[in-house]
Amino acid sequence: MPFLGQDWRSPGQSWVKTEEGWKKTTADEKNNNVSVESFCKAEKEECFNKENLLLSLSFDMSAKKRKKDQMNNNTKVPYFHRENWIYVHKGSTKERHGYCTLGEAFNRLDFCSAIKDTRRFNYVVRLLELIAKSQLPSLSGVAQKNYMNILERVVQKVLDDQQNVRPIKELLQMLYVSLCGLVQDMGKSVLVGNINTWLHRMENILQWQQQLDNIQINRPTSTGMTLTDLPVSLQLNIMQRLTDGRDLVSLGQVCPELGALTEDRLLWKRLCQYHFTDRQIRKRLMVSDKGQLEWKKMYFKLSRCYPHREQYSDTLHFCTHCHILFWKDTNHPCTANNPDSCTMSLYPQDFINLFNF
């Protein structure tokens, strides 16, 4: 009967062919050799996988960086939020976590459509001016980028409509002066982002200023009735609607007839009484040689000492009942259910102060 089991005379031994010839090895030595070879092979595979993983990670990081740089440099296709109202919460509660900041409100409210509305244009420009003056470092990186995108649209609207040139030039000048001081403190984490990005934005501001300086207002082609064709009383009535003395001066430079009307003392008296209090006027009285008050000179002197009275056709409103910030013609949930809810109009400075807590 043949023996089918392991030979007891040579337990675990086997012949293995090597470079030096055939050698007899035991099972333990064979297992050790196999384990060493498998370990080396596994180690090589692990190193190879690690190299592939590092290459893939570096490729993903470089791709993300290129995509991020492209998004940062591509200001032609910005993303604007179009929310008509937001909830302003100043602290964490059980129902809501976190709080609302000035940058978040600036990002989420629909300022893109507001600059297209003539009723809200001056309001948004004044808000941009206040942010450029003192609140720009407090904005997040996304809010700062959104600020520049909205400002670019404002400048483009002025170039297209050829209106409101002077306030936008003053806004750009104030923003450029503020950035000159903030860029010097880039090492102190005043502004978010690379300094080269802000230098590029400052170059854009200079280009916008040059475009506004070179703007040429086209004369209307219509041959109908003009302002000088109206009766003098109507011309004075129209001039009384102007709330900025610089507009009166510019109007008087059109022709000698309008220049004589803009020197009317009653116009400048009403301007002074509209913007300044009686106490402020009494502190800056100026009398001519004829014993008459120089209302025009007093107006410009008072303008250098005191702020003007602000007037806007439409403003942001704040509901004290549900803490909703919304535009006037927007029905937020509180006013939809309770039209008599407590709401108050917010001037641009009030909007800034709402988030300074």
* Rg of the chain in Å (alpha carbons): 37
- Classify strands 21-26 and 13-18 as parallel, antiparallel or unpaired: antiparallel
Q: What is the mean pLDDT of the chain?
A: 77
Residue 208 amino acid letter: W
How would you classify the pairing of strands 316-319 and 85-87?
unpaired
**What percent of the chain has a predicted confidence (pLDDT) above 90?**
18
Whole-angstrom Cα distance, residue 264 to residue 194? 54
pLDDT at residue 1, rounded to an integer: 47
More confident residue, 47 or 344: 344
Taking the C-alpha atoms of residue 251 and residue 258, their distance in angstroms, rounded to an integer, is: 7
pTM over 0.85: no
pLDDT classification of 41: cutoffs 50, 70, 90: low
The secondary structure of 184-213 as a DSSP string is TTGGGT-SSS-HHHHHHHHHHHHHHHHHHH
pLDDT tens digits for range 87-119: 787 665 655 555 578 888 888 888 888 888 888
184 pLDDT above the threshold of 90 = no
For 337, counting Cβ atoms within 10 Å of its Cβ (0-12 exposed, 13-18 middle, 19+ buried), the class is exposed
Residue 278 vs residue 61, higher pLDDT: 278
Comparing CA positions, the residue from 198, 184, 190, 181 lying closest to residue 137 is 190
Mean pLDDT value across residues 310-328: 82
Give the residue with greater pLDDT, 295 vs 10.
295
Nearest partner of 25 among 35, 33, 13, judged by Cα: 13
Distance (Å, whole) CA 190 – CA 198: 12
CA quadruple 112, 115, 118, 121: dihedral sign = positive
CA distance 133 to 147: 13
- Can you read off the two tokens belonging to residue 33? 């050799």
Alpha carbons 147 and 109: distance in angstroms, whole number: 12
Q: How far is CA 309 from the centre of its chain?
A: 26
Among the residue ranges 16-25, 77-86, 318-327, the one predicted with the least confidence is: 77-86
Q: Strand locations in 66-111, DSSP E?
A: 85-87
